[in-house]
Amino acid sequence: MIADVIIHPSPNQGPRRDGLRPSIVVIHYTAMQSAAAALERLCDPSAEVSAHYLISGQGDVYQMVEEDQRAWHAGQGEWAGSDDINSRSIGIELDNQGTHPFAEPQMQALERLLKDIMARWKITADGVIGHSDMAPGRKADPGPRFDWARLARQGLAATGKDDPSRKDLTPDSFIAAARLVGFTADVSLDTLLTAARLRFAPWRSGPLCQDDLQLCHYISSKWK
């Protein structure tokens, strides 16, 4: 465990179901005015929501739920063909409203925490996802301001790569590729495209285009 974790237990937790162990880390933003407000809500029994960790903008790390327990952070959704993400994951909330970049102390604390969690539970980079990945159309966090590429450079998240040589992009091939990488929720093409871009290319807009092969190439290089 990283040093200086502040223990602040939440009653909103329970045992993981069916003997499941953490194989995914889900990153969120709090969308609240402050870390203190988020901490209060995540520990309020009437809110029925929690996470394993909350990281403030200053880099303070609060642990509300033990990692072997089931926190209530993911809600309905699906990733890589599996549901009940709460029983399969560790949830990390970041103090941010999604409207501004994530603070440097916060990102450094997240990186240290991720390295620790991934080593302890043998979670690979492919298992570090955003809330929007497993709940496309319903959730948008950690949002377009989150620096996934920074995590990917350290092996703490997966990323796409451009492959100009590929010319086979169609709606069906894009959907198939997205399913292989983990986007298996039953959503429309537009919703899927929004979620995939939010993760791999948040600067891109408009209809499905050749540049969206970035995601397809990541998948093809992983699975071929």
Task: Please write down the HEC assignment for all residues of the chain.
Answer: CCCCCEECCCCCEEECHHHCCCCEEEEEECCCCCHHHHHHHHCCCCCCCCCCEEECCCCCEEECCCCCEEECCCCCCCECCECCHHHHEEEEEECCCCCCCCCHHHHHHHHHHHHHHHHHHCCCHHHEEEHHHHCECCECCCCCCCCHHHHHHCCCCCCCCCCCCCCCCCHHHHHHHHHHHCCCCCCCHHHHHHHHHHHHCCCCCCCCCHHHHHHHHHHHHHHC
Kindly report the backbone phi and psi dihedral angles of residue 18, in degrees, each rounded to the nearest multiple of 5, phi listed first: 55, 30
pTM, entire model: 0.93
Higher pLDDT, 3 or 11: 11
Same-domain status, 89 and 10: yes
Q: Are residues 128 and 185 in the same domain?
A: no
- Whether 93 is catalytic: yes
pLDDT of residue 174: 86
Q: How far is CA 118 from CA 26, 89, 122, in A?
A: 12, 11, 5
* Same domain assignment for residues 107 and 39: yes
Look at residue 105 and tell me whether its pLDDT is greater than 80. Answer: yes
Catalytic residue among 40, 93, 104, 111: 93
Is 120 contained in some domain? yes
Mean pLDDT is highest, among 10-24, 151-165, 188-202, for 10-24
Position 164 in a domain: no
The answer on pLDDT for 221 being more than 60 is: no
Confidence of residue 220 (pLDDT cuts 50, 70, 90): very low
96 and 15 within one domain: yes
Check pLDDT > 80 for residue 219.
no
For residue 163, give both structure tokens.
Answer: 């492959």
Task: Check whether residue 201 and residue 134 sit in a common domain.
Answer: no
The first and second tokens of residue 213, run together, are 């092969």
Percent of the chain past pLDDT 90, that is, above it, reads 78
Q: Is residue 166 part of a domain?
A: no
Count up the domains in the chain and report the number.
2
Q: Which domain holds residue 60?
A: 6-153
Predicted confidence band at 172 (pLDDT cuts at 50, 70, 90)?
A: confident
Q: Answer yes or no: do 103 and 205 share one domain.
A: no
Between 150 and 218, residue with greater pLDDT = 150
